[in-house]
Amino acid sequence: MSDIPVHSKPLVESTATGELLIGGQRLTRLVERAGRTPFYAYDRRLIRSRVAELRETLPAGTKLHYAMKANPFVPLVCFMSQLVDGIDVASAGELNVALNAGADPAEVSFAGPGKSEAELSQAVASGVLINVESQRELRLLASVADRLGIAPRVALRVNPGFELKGSGMKMGGGPKQFGIDEEDIPEALADIRALGLAFEGFHLFAGSQNLRADAVCEAQRQAFALARRLAVHAPAPVRVLNLGGGFGIPYFPGERPLALGPIGENLTQIREQCLREMPEAIMVVELGRYLVGEAGVYVARVVDRKVSRDQIFLITDGGLNHHLSASGNFGQVIRKNFPVAINGKASGQRETVSVVGPLCTPLDLLADRVELPAADIGDLFVVFQSGAYGASASPQAFLGHPPCAELLV
């Protein structure tokens, strides 16, 4: 299967006929299990091995959190809650899913701007750590604390002065809606002391989808140095030091997997410093797509084949309503093709095709002029690297087609 990028190889063991094996099962059989197309399938084995690799590389004692906005499929969150040390949520809805999935509230943290009083009350009553993003949230938390008689556990989300260079999405540095600017943190810490909230530490999340180990390392060092400077003003020792994540996965031709080794070495050095200078602090790394993105595929069936002015179109029953990311409309600046394949075509004629969905919009493009084995109506079209920001990040109601199925294999 020459279409499959090297990094997807473990996912796509294929039989002699080119039939894909997902979680060790033939794709055609998985379709029967799903009962319909399109669907997403997530491979537990791949997630487990990804987590094992991280555990081996990160310094002992570093906590590994799953940022569940990457994939909030409930069975997957249940699985993750047994596998990692904590779950990061970004809404009260996600908080409920994480707690119902069995996550320990002591190891759940809640970030996100604009938390409502109701959300904050839910978080305080649940006993989770709240990553505070504004002065307003601090004041609301003080009144929630009075009403419930519970001291809220708080960390401050810091909007640092630095950026995570080379990130697909920047979420810190410069003016941002996330966190509290680092220059305003001393004042927020004084407020925490005055309001009697239970201070636990800092949360620094600078960016997402980064494939440059050197950039990730630099941001982690800067985050640690900043936390150390800010800790001087804190009303209590730092116990939680969430250094963010931003570990990316390769989606497009020419992209190389992130080198984990240097990040492990860097974090080991930071941890040694941390043990000396903030001995009560536990370091946390929060990852979304790096844990689950490469473990998922999206599968749709070819339902029509058309030639328009010499260009071949494969029309599938899937589309941007299920997989906005693959259509290039979820934050990409320049549209590029995700890695894709046609199931069960190891050899034979190849052709250049565009793969689309049934929606009445030209945006509904899953692969633009890619070379694939010649496909017929009824064949299965597969998009790799689809385990994160898939079903939940797509406008499923748009145009009224049925929602996709999801399977954990």
Contact window for ligand PLP (CB under 6 A) among 5-13, 18-26, 67-75, 139-147: 67-75
- CA–CA distance, 190 with 386 (Å, rounded to integer): 44
Q: Are 138 and 191 in contact (CB under 8 A)?
A: yes
Q: Contact between 110 and ligand PLP (CB under 6 A)?
A: no
Supply the minimum distance, in Å, between the C-beta of residue 288 and ligand PLP. Answer: 2
**Nearer to ligand PLP among residue 330 and residue 398 (C-beta):** 330
- CA–CA distance, 125 with 139 (Å, rounded to integer): 17
Q: Contact between 294 and ligand PLP (CB under 6 A)?
A: no
Cβ partners under 8 Å of residue 158, min gap 6: 172, 179, 180, 182, 185, 202, 203, 204, 226, 227, 230
CA-CA-CA-CA dihedral for 171, 287, 56, 281, to nearest 10: 70
Strands 169-170 vs 153-159: parallel, antiparallel or unpaired: unpaired
Supply the minimum distance, in Å, between the C-beta of residue 54 and ligand PLP. Answer: 12
Q: Other CB atoms closer than 10 Å to residue 233's CB: what's the count?
A: 14
For ligand PLP, which residue has the nearest CB? Answer: 288
Supply the minimum distance, in Å, between the C-beta of residue 290 and ligand PLP. Answer: 6
Q: From residue 266, how far is each of 182, 222, 271 by CA, in Å?
A: 23, 12, 9
Q: Contact between 286 and ligand PLP (CB under 6 A)?
A: yes
- Spatial CA neighbour of 315 closest among 336, 327, 300: 300
Q: Contact between 42 and ligand PLP (CB under 6 A)?
A: no
For ligand PLP, which residue of 281, 287, 300, 404 counts as binding (CB under 6 A)? 287
Residues between 194 and 213 with contacts to ligand PLP, criterion CB under 6 A: 205, 208-209
**Nearer to ligand PLP among residue 30 and residue 67 (C-beta):** 67
Spell out, one character per residue from 323 to 352, where the chain touches ligand PLP: x when CB under 6 A holds, - when not: ------------------------------
Residue 123 sits at φ, ψ, to 5 deg, of -65, -40
Q: Contact between 67 and ligand PLP (CB under 6 A)?
A: yes
- CA–CA distance, 318 with 316 (Å, rounded to integer): 5
What is the CB-side half-sphere exposure of residue 230 using CA atoms within 13 A?
32
Q: Contact between 288 and ligand PLP (CB under 6 A)?
A: yes
Q: Contact between 70 and ligand PLP (CB under 6 A)?
A: yes
- Spatial CA neighbour of 209 closest among 325, 313, 95, 105: 325
Q: How many residues bind ligand PLP (CB under 6 A)?
A: 16
Contact window for ligand PLP (CB under 6 A) among 64-72, 145-153, 321-329, 400-408: 64-72
378 backbone φψ class: left, alpha, beta (φ>0; ψ -120 to 50): left
For ligand PLP, which residue of 88, 182, 364, 406 counts as binding (CB under 6 A)? 88
- Spatial CA neighbour of 54 closest among 292, 221, 407, 296: 292
Q: Contact between 388 and ligand PLP (CB under 6 A)?
A: yes
Q: Are 301 and 15 in contact (CB under 8 A)?
A: no
For ligand PLP, which residue of 7, 50, 69, 115 counts as binding (CB under 6 A)? 69
Q: Other CB atoms closer than 10 Å to residue 100's CB: what's the count?
A: 12
**Nearer to ligand PLP among residue 65 and residue 345 (C-beta):** 65
Q: Contact between 99 and ligand PLP (CB under 6 A)?
A: no
Supply the minimum distance, in Å, between the C-beta of residue 167 and ligand PLP. Answer: 9
Q: Contact between 137 and ligand PLP (CB under 6 A)?
A: no
Token readout for 100 is 């119902």
What is the CB-side half-sphere exposure of residue 193 using CA atoms within 13 A?
12
Spell out, one character per residue from 142 to 181, where the chain touches ligand PLP: x when CB under 6 A holds, - when not: ----------------------------------------
Residues between 227 and 256 with contacts to ligand PLP, criterion CB under 6 A: 245
Contact window for ligand PLP (CB under 6 A) among 20-28, 280-288, 321-329, 373-381: 280-288
Supply the minimum distance, in Å, between the C-beta of residue 248 and ligand PLP. Answer: 7
Binding site for ligand PLP (CB under 6 A): 67, 69-70, 88, 90, 111, 205, 208-209, 245, 286-290, 388
